[in-house]
């Protein structure tokens, strides 16, 4: 595939954008749903990449329940050649009935991305406990420090039935070359007693970079995950678009995955590169409902324009717009590569205030290491607010 850089870019993108086929797909044996311990219907599965290139895949799941149909979609972390990537979608609208899963839809772009030099230690430190949870270590075998590492895995019963998709209970903030870091995984309590073994351990990372531009006289924050350099971003209010100067120093195509705040668009994103419109992967984050827009950028210098922003949207100058309750608590308690203030955490949790007692971080510690549900921590903070302790 080294001849990619000889092909005109607008033709290349057409080649690299696919509807799912036998090369990047979801096996029927690894696609199912169940009602979790909160009574919410959950769909889980794994996307297989049998291509000889890294794939960036968007998964759409549709569920019929009685006379109603519900849909969720998301763009998954990079799936390296001959690897799987687990996924899970929650449907809070479905708490009873007999849900029927439709065949999943997978679309993807092929790109070039070297696998992470993060390896799971398959030794006596990889332990499954009687309650179904698992602990283990990963090692950075490369020469560069890696940030914000997650580990994904599949969970099976004794008869090889696929039970659940899980990931480590907290993101590992940083692993230096040669260092090890511990991870912990908990399956859903409804299937915990059936857990016999874990498989398909896949390390992933979010090395996204935060960017901003002026829109309506305010800073508009967004982020991008890519090794392509994006600079000189400018918002054009007459066309509701952001333009960038993009530079890909590698003589191969590489993907960019942009994330924009919920409410900044209705999802009608369009992307053009050097004046040629392409087909991006577009999805929303399940927890934060923020928008994801992913596409390939060819070797060299390019002008990229992303349009489709809502002209009625007013930037809220939120630097950490992408945080959900769990990631916000993790950052606030010091388990991330950055920290947020008391007031910012309360704002994300929907609580008015400026101060949280430092000892509440002990509860977050239990959330991370002892699988205390996120909702329990949030409810504790809300109770402390009612009691006047959170101010």
Domains of the chain: 2-111 (2.60.40), 118-205 (2.60.40), 209-309 (2.60.40.1180), 325-386 (no CATH)
CA–CA dist 216, 77 (Å, integer): 33
CA–CA dist 107, 57 (Å, integer): 6
pLDDT at residue 297 in the model: 95
CA–CA dist 101, 327 (Å, integer): 30
For residues 79 and 85, the answer to whether their CB atoms sit within 8 Å is yes
CA–CA dist 59, 235 (Å, integer): 30
pLDDT tens string for the chain (391 positions)? 222 222 233 333 333 444 444 489 999 888 999 999 889 999 999 999 999 888 999 999 999 999 999 999 999 888 989 889 999 999 999 999 999 999 999 999 988 877 778 999 999 999 999 999 999 999 999 998 888 899 999 899 999 888 998 989 888 888 999 999 999 999 998 899 999 999 888 888 777 888 999 999 999 999 998 889 999 999 999 999 999 999 998 888 899 999 999 999 999 999 999 999 999 999 998 888 999 999 999 999 999 999 999 999 999 888 888 888 988 999 899 888 788 999 999 999 999 999 999 999 999 988 887 778 888 999 999 999 999 999 9
Tokens of 321: 């717009």
67, β-bridge pairs: none
Tokens of 114: 């070297």
For residues 381 and 360, the answer to whether their CB atoms sit within 8 Å is yes
Give this prediction's pTM: 0.77
CA–CA dist 164, 301 (Å, integer): 43
For residues 118 and 32, the answer to whether their CB atoms sit within 8 Å is no
């Amino acid at each position: 595939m080294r001849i990619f850089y000889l092909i005109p870019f607008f033709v290349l993108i057409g080649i690299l954008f696919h509807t799912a086929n036998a090369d990047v797909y979801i096996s029927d044996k690894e696609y199912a749903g169940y009602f979790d311990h909160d009574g919410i219907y959950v769909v889980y599965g794994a996307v297989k990449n049998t291509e000889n290139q890294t794939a960036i895949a968007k998964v759409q799941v549709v569920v019929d329940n009685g006379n109603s149909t519900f849909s969720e979609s998301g763009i998954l972390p990079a799936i390296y050649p001959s690897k799987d990537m687990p996924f899970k979608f929650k449907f809070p609208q479905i708490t009873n009935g007999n849900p029927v899963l439709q065949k999943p839809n997978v679309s993807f772009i092929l790109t070039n991305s070297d696998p992470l030099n993060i390896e799971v230690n398959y030794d006596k430190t990889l332990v499954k406990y009687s309650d179904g949870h698992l602990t283990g270590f990963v090692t950075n075998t490369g020469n560069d420090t890696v940030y914000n590492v997650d580990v994904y895995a599949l969970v099976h019963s004794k008869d090889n039935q696929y039970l659940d998709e899980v990931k480590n209970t907290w993101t590992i903030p940083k692993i230096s070359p040669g260092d090890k870091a511990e991870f912990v995984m908990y399956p859903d309590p409804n299937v915990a007693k059936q857990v016999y073994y874990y498989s398909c351990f896949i390390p992933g990372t979010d090395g996204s970079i935060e960017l901003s531009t002026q829109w309506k006289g305010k800073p508009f924050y967004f982020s991008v995950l890519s090794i392509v350099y994006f600079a000189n971003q400018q918002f054009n209010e007459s066309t509701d678009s952001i333009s960038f100067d993009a530079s890909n120093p590698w003589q191969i195509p590489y993907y960019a995955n942009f994330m924009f705040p919920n409410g900044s668009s209705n999802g009608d994103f369009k992307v053009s590169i050097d004046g040629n419109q392409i087909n991006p992967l577009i999805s929303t984050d399940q927890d934060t409902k923020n928008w994801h827009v992913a596409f390939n950028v060819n070797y060299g210098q390019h002008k990229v324009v992303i349009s489709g922003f809502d002209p009625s949207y007013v930037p809220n100058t939120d630097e950490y717009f992408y945080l959900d309750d769990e990631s916000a608590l993790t950052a606030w308690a010091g388990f991330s590569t950055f920290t947020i203030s008391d007031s910012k955490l309360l704002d994300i949790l929907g609580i008015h205030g400026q101060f949280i007692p430092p000892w509440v971080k002990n509860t977050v510690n239990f959330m991370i290491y002892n699988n205390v549900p996120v909702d329990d921590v949030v409810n504790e903070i809300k109770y402390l607010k009612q009691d006047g302790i959170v101010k």
